[in-house]
């Protein structure tokens, strides 16, 4: 991945590049996009998602909220840009690289043993009875597994399959230890494993295959 555009002036140059793989080699890794308060902005959105998960607004509050949310959406709609230049997913200084669709994680180490992160499933990720939804656990594994695969094979990968063994309840609002690593590399194939722990307790394990995209592959 190389330095990408952070201003509209460089947009044209990037758009003229051939589409190099499903995630584009030119995707910028940055701490600048979206400005210095993008982290606070993302956190407010996450707080909104958490609150909505448990909200039961009385009709008059719903009336008010609908109006306020419509105004916010209108304002946000006016700021939309294309996928390749948006801060979300590129801000390595923020939880989950500033991507609010992922459970927030902080990568604590990347080394020969793989990727180590702290992941916290929040109210928004509720499956039931204070436990994380299994799909959100898989989302965390997909991203952190994709990261470990990319590091192992030095290239952008796509998930071919991903299975999760749910070993015990994955609690909400608890910093959990996640570890993903390339178990075996065979040509373009990276057989990747992962685990999420709550302290000493194993919550879930991942077994996945990521495949390095060929140049120009969509
Ligand atoms: C500092 C910051 C860093 C930031 C890091 C950011 C990380 C972000 C991470 C985000 C991560 C998010 C990630 C996401 O969410 S990626 C989104 C979810 N995934 C997809 O949408 C993928 C859809 N599928 C495809 O595009 C293709 O099928 C792929 C690309 C996967 C392979 O199609 P391709 O045409 O390219 O390859 P091939 O068919 O010749 O197969 C090649 C080899 O693989 C073997 N094979 C294929 N499929 C399977 C299977 N299911 N089980 C077992 N084996 C399988 C096959 O037999 C062959 O083996 P061999 O004959 O060679 O031995």
What is d(CA 198, CA 205) in angstroms, rounded to the nearest whole number? 12
- Residue spans of beta strands (DSSP E) within 29-155: 105-111, 114-119, 126-128, 131-132
Q: Kindly state the helix (H) or strand (E) to which residue 146 belongs, with its residue range.
A: helix 134-153
- Nearest of 187, 193, 173 to residue 132 by alpha carbon: 173
- Nearest of 105, 98, 123 to residue 47 by alpha carbon: 123
Kindly report, residue by residue over 129-183, the tens digit of the pLDDT. 999 999 999 999 999 999 999 999 999 999 999 999 999 999 999 999 999 999 9
pLDDT at 217: 83
Kindly report, residue by residue over 28-57, the tens digit of the pLDDT. 788 999 999 999 999 999 999 999 999 999
Q: Is the complex ipTM more than 0.95?
A: yes
Q: Which amino acid residue places its CA nearest to atom 24 of ligand 1? A: 160
Centroid of ligand 1 to alpha carbon of 135 (angstroms): 19
pLDDT at 212: 96
CB under 8 Å to 99, separation ≥6 — which residues?
88, 89
- State the closest ligand 1 atom to the C-alpha of 218, by its place in the atom list counted from 1: 26
Tell whether ligand 1 has an atom less than 6 A from the beta carbon of residue 143. yes
Q: Which amino acid residue places its CA nearest to atom 41 of ligand 1? A: 211
Q: Which amino acid residue places its CA nearest to atom 54 of ligand 1? A: 160
- Give the global pTM: 0.91
Domains of the chain: 1-93 (no CATH), 102-212 (3.10.129.10)
Q: Which of 109, 160, 185 to mutate to test the pocket of ligand 1 (most atoms within 8 A of CB)?
A: 160
What is d(CA 126, CA 133) in angstroms, rounded to the nearest whole number? 5
Centroid of ligand 1 to alpha carbon of 73 (angstroms): 35
């Amino acid at each position: 991945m190389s330095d990408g555009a952070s201003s509209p002036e460089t947009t044209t140059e990037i758009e003229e590049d051939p589409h190099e793989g499903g995630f584009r080699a030119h995707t910028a890794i940055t701490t600048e996009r979206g400005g210095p308060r993008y982290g606070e902005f993302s956190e407010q959105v996450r707080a909104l998602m958490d609150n909505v998960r448990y909200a039961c607004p009385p009709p008059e509050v719903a009336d008010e909220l609908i109006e306020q949310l419509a105004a916010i959406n209108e304002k946000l709609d006016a700021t939309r840009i294309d996928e390749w230049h948006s801060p979300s997913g590129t801000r390595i200084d923020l939880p989950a690289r500033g991507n609010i669709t992922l459970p927030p994680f902080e990568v604590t180490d990347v080394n020969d043993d793989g990727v180590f992160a702290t992941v916290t499933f929040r109210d928004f990720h509720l499956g039931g009875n204070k436990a994380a939804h299994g799909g959100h656990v898989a989302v965390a594994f997909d991203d952190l597994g994709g990261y470990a695969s990319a590091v192992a094979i030095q290239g952008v990968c796509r998930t071919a399959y991903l299975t999760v063994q749910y070993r015990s309840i994955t609690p909400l609002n608890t910093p959990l230890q996640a570890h993903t690593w390339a178990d075996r590399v065979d040509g373009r194939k990276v057989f990747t494993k992962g685990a999420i722990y709550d302290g000493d307790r194993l919550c879930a394990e991942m077994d996945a295959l990521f495949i390095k995209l060929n140049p120009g592959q969509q």
